[in-house]
Chain A
Amino acid sequence: MTTAPARASGPARRFARLLYRHPRLQLRLLLAAPLLWLLLAYLGSLAVLFANAFFRHDSFTGRVIFEFTLDNFAAVAGTEVYRTITLRTIGLAVLVTLVCTVLAFPIAYTMARVASPRIRGLLVIAVLMPLWASYLVKVYAWRTMLLGNGVLDWLFAPFGVNAPGIGEGALLLVFTYLWLPYMILPIYAALERIPESLLEASADLGGRTGMTFRRVVLPLVLPGVVAGSIFTFSLTLGDYITPQLVSNTRLIGNAIYDTLGVPNLPLAAAIATIPVITIVAYLLLARRTGAFESL
């Protein structure tokens, strides 16, 4: 080590020694940039948004008038449309989550416990691929298939049945399609972590397949399902593009987007509190099941 003494007095080296002696300084330097960014760009933006919910709006010019008011919240709480849209959106999110769970379970189970290691690798790739494929391409593909003279019309024609076309059913179908990989992967990860010995122990104690599944496998997979449901929930609540493209239904995202376009930022901000409160409540609930470790 002939180079070390030569560098010992350089300013970089001196600074390094200072950092080493003062771990708190190290911590502050590490946290400064990410905290500043998150505070300014993200939390700051959210603060600006929700501050606007308390301002008045000039319906003639569309401008925000900086006067305190609770009218926007009163409008959201008192208008039938927003209540309907909220219930519809949350109901759809629950339905999408349930259908995704049901569809994801068999494939996740096959990947984790039935397929040979080689096939398992291929299945993981097969599930990952569409996850990386563009969101908009997938929505567009379904729109093309659902619209008149599409693939579905052609598939259904021999049975003398009309294809579903665009609408609420199509919306459920496409959301399920879009978020399915987000459900498959955490369930697969949860299933893969279950030690074989646990299942053997259950069998030794007389548990049949069905019972072992209900009493051992399901409880251990639940955090995975909850982790997946955070995605399916948040993504459904935050989407305003898919409803436009495959249905005539308006979800909460559309209500926010359209209201901002009016432009009526204060009202849009007040509506935006609904999905935020829903998701934060859901996250707090989800945290209690230990789902965050499965994300």
Chain B
Amino acid sequence: MTESRWLRIGLWAATLAVLAFVYLPLVVIAIYAFNASDIQSWPIPGVSLRWFERALADGAVRQAFLNSVIAATAATSIALVLGTLAAFAVQRFRFFGREIISFVVILPIALPGVVTGVALSATFTTLGIGFGMVTIVIGHATFCVVIAYNNVIARLRRTSRSLEEASMDLGADTWQTFRHVFLPSMRGALLSGGLLAFALSFDEVIVTNFTAGAGVDTVPLWVLSAIQRPNALPVVNVVAVALILLSVIPVYIAQRIGGRAAR
């Protein structure tokens, strides 16, 4: 099947139009971050860096970033361990309920976020668990498990057991095989799974809004409340730019992992 010249031109035009649509809001917000005025109107009257200074000095913003990093690190660690264990069991064993496990693992991201949020909130309230960092981490870890699980199981499907069997035949026990054969072959999957889980946790707001309580703000929670205060908007713009720039990191690392795997 060959695409005619005109079809190709049309496809490229549509591609560029969609990309313009995708990047327009991000560019607009980046420009607003340099707004000299504290009123959001377009076009901006002048350029200034004062909101960057203001944002850097803002204690609440810094605390929110710190909280987000802590929550994402804890949730990712839990998710990597649980996801890897589950993936290993489902891929390497045949047992009753195997299909159910692969279904239950994806449920937390397949079910609407508001349901997960209400369910966790109702449970914490019922059990008398106080809302805070721990409840945030529990929520995040639950929907991050599927990310780790998917990455590891995809890798497991492509690696044969023969390497592990060879290692065992040469006298290595389960632990040695795990450390010297299994872990190195899983490194890419664990890294990209961990990265994705971290990013997902860092960005999550729909469930977090239910599980955070009043005391602890993550970055998205801070943004959500700041959006509703007009005088906080200039600082929100700067935080938005920071978040857009931060999103380059996972894409860059994922690209490098992918590139190495392909070679």
Instruction: Report which A residues bind B (CB closer than 8 A).
Output: 1, 4, 7, 12-13, 16-17, 19-20, 23, 26-27, 30-31, 33-35, 37-38, 41-46, 48-49, 52, 103-104, 106-107, 109-111, 113-114, 121, 123, 125-130, 132-138, 140-145, 147, 149-151, 153-154, 177, 180-181, 199-200, 202-203, 207, 209, 212-213, 216-217, 230, 234-235, 237-241, 245, 252-253, 256-257, 260, 265, 268-269, 272, 275-276, 279, 283, 295
- Which residues of B33-66 have CB atoms within 8 Å of chain A's CB atoms? 40-43
Task: Evaluate whether A153 and B42 lie within 8 angstroms (CB atoms) in the complex, with A134-B240, A140-B29 already known.
Answer: yes
Q: Which residues of A contact B115 (CB under 8 A)?
A: 46, 49, 238, 256, 272, 275-276
Contact of B95 among A4, A27, A104, A109 (CB under 8 A): A27
Bound complex: CA of A237 vs CA of B112, how far in Å? 6
A238 with B206: CB separation less than 8 A: yes
Chain A to chain B contacts (Cβ below 8 Å), 14 pairs: A46-B119, A104-B18, A110-B12, A126-B22, A134-B244, A137-B26, A140-B223, A141-B29, A144-B233, A151-B42, A154-B43, A272-B119, A279-B111, A283-B110
Cross-chain contact B11 with A106 (CB below 8 angstroms): yes
The reply to whether B1 and A133 contact each other, CB–CB distance below 8 Å, is no
- Cβ of B83 within 8 Å of any chain A Cβ, yes or no, is yes
Q: Is residue B183 contacting chain A, with contact meaning CB distance below 8 A?
A: no
Residues of chain A within 8 A (CB-CB) of B223 are: 134, 136-137, 140
Contact A268 to B118, CB < 8 A, known contacts A110-B15, A136-B220, A140-B236? yes
Complex CA gap A38/B143 in Å reads 10
Interface residues of B in 177-228 (CB under 8 A from A): 199, 203, 205-206, 209, 219-220, 223-224, 227
Chain B residues near A269: list those with CB within 8 A. Answer: 118, 122
Establish whether residues B123 and A37, one from each chain, have CB atoms under 8 Å apart when the complex forms: no
In the complex, besides A114-B8, A140-B29, A141-B29, 14 extra interface pairs with C-beta distance below 8 angstroms are: A16-B175, A20-B174, A34-B105, A35-B101, A38-B104, A48-B126, A106-B10, A106-B14, A114-B11, A143-B227, A265-B122, A272-B118, A275-B114, A279-B112
B-to-A contact residues, CB < 8 Å:
1-4, 7-8, 10-12, 14-15, 18-19, 21-26, 28-29, 32, 40-43, 78, 81-83, 85-86, 88-89, 93, 95, 101, 104-116, 118-123, 125-126, 138, 141-142, 145, 150, 168, 170-171, 173-175, 199, 203, 205-206, 209, 219-220, 223-224, 227, 233, 236, 240, 243-244, 247-248, 250-251, 254-255
- Complexed CA–CA distance, A213 and B2 (Å): 10
Query: Nearest CB to that of A130 among chain B residues?
Result: B22
Rounded to whole Å, the gap between the CB of A92 and the closest CB of chain B is: 13
Neighbour of A125 across the interface among B25, B32, B42, B255, CB < 8 A: B255
Task: Give bound CA distance, A209 to B118, whole Å.
Answer: 50
In the assembly, what is the distance between CA of A151 and CA of B42, in Å?
Answer: 6
A137→B107 contact, CB < 8 A = no
Contacts of A276 in B (CB 8 A): 111-112, 115
B237 to A: closest C-beta gap in Å: 8
The reply to whether B114 and A103 form a contact with Cβ atoms under 8 Å apart is: no
Q: Is the CB of A31 within 8 A of B86?
A: yes
CB pair B85–A106 under 8 Å, yes or no, is no
**Are the C-beta atoms of A144 and B40 separated by less than 8 Å?**
yes
Residues of B within 8 A of A136 (CB): 203, 205, 220, 223-224, 227
What is the bound-complex CA distance between A33 and B40, given in angstroms?
A: 50
A256 to B219, CA, bound (A): 24
Interface of B, helix, strand, loop or mixed by DSSP: helix
Q: How far is the CB of A159 from chain B (nearest CB, A)?
A: 16
Q: Which residues of B contact A237 (CB under 8 A)?
A: 112, 114
Q: Name the residue of chain B whose CB is nearest to the CB of A142.
A: B25
Inter-chain contact B86/A149, CB cutoff 8 Å: no
Q: Are B205 and A107 touching (Cβ within 8 A)?
A: no
Partner of A238, one of B41, B111, B168: B111
- Of B21, B41, B88, B114, chain A has the most CB atoms within 10 Å of the CB of B114
Q: Which residues of A contact B254 (CB under 8 A)?
A: 128
Determine the chain A residues whose CB is within 8 A of the CB of B141 once the complex forms.
Answer: 37, 41
Cross-chain contact B123 with A44 (CB below 8 angstroms): yes
A175 CA / B236 CA spacing, docked (Å): 21
Contact of B123 among A12, A49, A132 (CB under 8 A): A49
Interchain residue pairs A-B with the least CB separation, the first 9? A238-B112, A141-B25, A106-B14, A132-B247, A16-B173, A238-B113, A149-B41, A34-B86, A49-B119
Task: Write out the residue numbers on chain B whose beta carbons fall within 8 Å of the beta carbon of A257.
Answer: 114, 118
Counting chain B CB atoms within 10 Å of each CB, which of A121, A126, A140, A252 scores highest? Answer: A140
Decide if B1 touches A207 in the complex (CB within 8 Å).
yes
Contact between A45 and B119, CB atoms less than 8 A apart? yes
B119, A241: Cβ atoms under 8 Å?
no
Closest Cβ–Cβ distance, residue B61 to chain A (whole Å): 14
